Structure formats: structure tokens, C-alpha cells
A = this chain, B = another copy of it.
Amino acid sequence: MAFKSPKGTRDFYPNLMRVQNHIFSIWKNTCKAFGYEEYEGPVFEQLELYTQKSGEEIVEQLYCFKDKGGRDLALRPELTPSLARMVNLKAPELKFPLRWFAVPRLYRYERAQKGRLREFYQLNMDIIGCTSLTAEADLISAVIEMLCAFGLNDKDFAVGLSSRRLIREFLAAQIPEDKIGQVYRVLDKRGKITEDLFNKMLTDLSISQGAIESINSFLNATTLSELKQMQCGGLLDDAVTELEELFNTLERVGYTGYLQLDLSIIRGLDYYTGVVFEVFDRNKSLRAIAGGGRYDNLLANLGGKQLSGVGFGIGDVVLYELLKEKGLLPEKIYGPDYFIVTFGDVDADLLSFARALRGRGKKVLYPLESVKVKKQMSQAVESGADKVIFFGSDKAPAGHFEVKNLETREQAIVAFDDL
């Protein structure tokens, strides 16, 4: 009987791990280019951290368990509650605003399908303690620059901007207060169901025909001027102005082609309060690539001070699918600098020579068993090594070595100090 990996998880063999490291490396380099500092939390947290504020869907998908001390724990389905917890614990010592990033592994018990796994990685970038829209602008700039660093451009993806605040204020003007929560959940399903079903679900909540029409034309708005015409007696002025300012800033920085208004974006998580955004592929053949927004009350709701946060997450699974579709996954194998092929035994002399080369900062591989030179050469090629050194070759004078470049096939006699 051969054991398999649990459903919805992945085995990263070295060839897949190289791709994964490519993704991690572009994620982290972008964060550093924007001056964000890395942090990390535990993989499991107290169950209550999620049941309080994360929203229904996520709680249904939790991997929860009791430890041997009887504590109720859950594998983290997202990192933001851990971030809020950590900031709350050290708020007096921290200097705000914080710009932090992390690359957590996350866990959701979902139906495994294309672009969706039960165990996945996600880059999180967050700003805590800044109410200015510069925070949103900074994060949206970062996600665009990051995707461009993968080789994608505005023909491949776009950032849809929306506002929970605007939607909330619009709904408050249309429907009774006590219906808003239920209507949110229907709105969040809109992209995945037919228009008829959507309207029916609202009708079932006793929303009037007029309000349903109004909701539909609001959600279909693609320009800010449409929104302005729709204004309900000035009630939405501030929320529209906020979106307008954000668009203006990002356009002036040069991201016009990447941006669009998309009020159908709600985001599943309950804690968002302001601007929300999602990144999606232009073909819309995949789920959202990234998503985030502003959360004004999460830290206070988890027992901390009133500190506003903005952040986004970008998962590895959908991104991988998109990069694969566009032919943007890396192909070159970065192997060691040298593979030492020996004409003699694999012995202490060979290991000492390898040690001396490593002492010069080189990455060095050698055969572990005495096998024929031909087999050593094929091991060298498979390893992705740049060059082969022939150890014990009589073609080279003392202190010199015969070296072959595996790409150009050129051979040369090189002094040790020049290796």
C-alpha cells in the first residue's frame, strides 16, 4: 500500500518547488521594494479568533480540533485575524502606521477544484494605523507591480475597485436596516448565479421590485459619473468622492489601463468597511487572483484599540494557473556552479576538493558513489550544473583543472584560483 498526500494538498517535488520559489521570490521582492516588513504567526489559533469575525463561509470551512490539553483550535483559514491579534498584543510598543507582509500557508476545507485547494499559500500585505487613502493606493500599486514582475500586463489582468461603505450607504437608502446583512450575502453570490435567480433571492427577502431594479443598475455602474447621477439626495457623496480620489491618484501614477469600477465586488469576509478590490484575469476564466480592502473595526472587535487596517491577499493556486496559461512559468533550472566528475574513487580527496571550492563561495556537487564517467556526466547534466570539473584528469598540470561548460560545450584548463 502506497500512502498518498491528503486530498486538496500538494507534494512539492523539486521541479514544482522551483516554480513555487519563483512565486515566493517575486512576492517577497515586491514587498521589499515597497518597504514592507515580514512577519508570521502560528499555523493554528484559538477557534474563537475566527468564529467571532471572519464570516459564515470561512467558519464552515474550518479545520478545527482539540489539542491534548482540551483547547479548541483551528488551522488558520486566513491571516488577518492573527495579524489583528498580534498588533493588539503589542500595540503600545509598535510605531504606526505598520506596513507588514507575510506568506502564510492557509487551510480551508473546500471542494477541491481548479484554482482551489484545501492547503495553499497566500501573500498578505497590510497597512495598520493609517486612515489615508494613500494606504489603498500603496497596496494596489504593489499588487499591480508584483503581477507585472511575473510578466503579466494590463491585457492579462485588471483591478476592480468597489466600496463596502458605498454599497452599505446605498443599501441603507433603499432597504430596511435589518435586511442589509442578508442582502449582502445575496450580492456576494451575484457573479456565480443567473440574473433571474439573483432577483428571485432578493424578492424572497421581501425587497421591493423598485429597489431590486435600483440595486441592479447600481451594481452595473461602470463609471463614477453614472454613480453620481444615481445619488440618493447626496447620501453617497463622501463614499463616491473617496473612490474618485483613489482612481485619480492611481491614474496619475500611471495605472489607468489596470483599473475599473466594479461594484459587484463585495468580498466574502465580514470585516471589510471601506474600499474593497479584487484582481481578476481579463478572460474571467479563473477565480479572483487577489482581493482585499479596508477594515476599520477588526482590531477593536478582537479586543484592541480602534486602528484602521487595509490589506490584500494573493494566493498561489490561481496565480499558478494564470502564469501557466500565459506561458510565464520559469523553465531554467538553477543548478550548482560545478559538478565534479572524478576519474578515481569518491574519497576524502574529492570531498576536500569540494570543500575548498565551497570555501570560495561555489555551489558544488559530486557523485556519491564511484560510477563510470559517462554516468557521472549524465548526473551532472540532470543536476543543472553550469560546469563540470574533471578531477584527477592527467590533462591538467598541478594546481590546474580541466573544466567543461555544459551549455557552450567549451573545455578549458583553469587554475584553482580562477575556478
Contact = CB atoms under 8 A, between A and B. Distances in A.
Interface residues of A, number: 95
Which residue, A351, A352, A355, has most C-beta atoms of chain B within 10 A?
A351
B351 A141 contact: yes
Contacts of A336: 32, 35
Interface stretch (A36-44, A226-234, A269-277): A36-44
A17 interface: yes
Contact of A3 (B17, B38, B48, B137): B48
A123 interface: no
A114 to B, nearest CB: 19
A297 interface: no
A213 to B, nearest CB: 37
Contact of A33 (B63, B253, B364, B379): B364
A103 to B, nearest CB: 11
A46 B2 CA distance: 12
B130 A369 contact: yes
B3 A95 contact: no
A41 B369 CA distance: 28
A191 interface: no
A349 B85 CA distance: 35
A141 B33 contact: no
Interface in A105-123: 105, 107, 109, 119
B119 A351 contact: no
Interface in A58-103: 63-69, 71, 73, 75, 85-86, 88-90, 95, 97, 99-100
Contacts of A13: 39, 86, 90
Nearest to A40: B12
A100 B14 contact: yes
Given A3-B303, A67-B109, A252 B88 contact: no
Given A141-B351, A352-B252, A119 B368 contact: no
B97 A254 contact: no
Which residue, A7, A13, A65, has most C-beta atoms of chain B within 10 A?
A13
A46 B11 contact: no
B63 A65 contact: yes
A200 interface: no
Interface in A128-148: 130-132, 134-135, 137-138, 141, 145
Given A7-B71, A13-B86, A137-B351, 9 more contacts: A3-B88, A6-B67, A9-B42, A11-B86, A21-B38, A34-B358, A65-B65, A249-B351, A253-B355
Interface of A: 1-7, 9-14, 17-18, 20-21, 32-35, 37-46, 48-49, 63-69, 71, 73, 75, 85-86, 88-90, 95, 97, 99-100, 105, 107, 109, 119, 127, 130-132, 134-135, 137-138, 141, 145, 248-249, 252-254, 302-304, 335-336, 339, 346-349, 351-352, 355, 358, 362-365, 368-369, 379, 382-383, 385
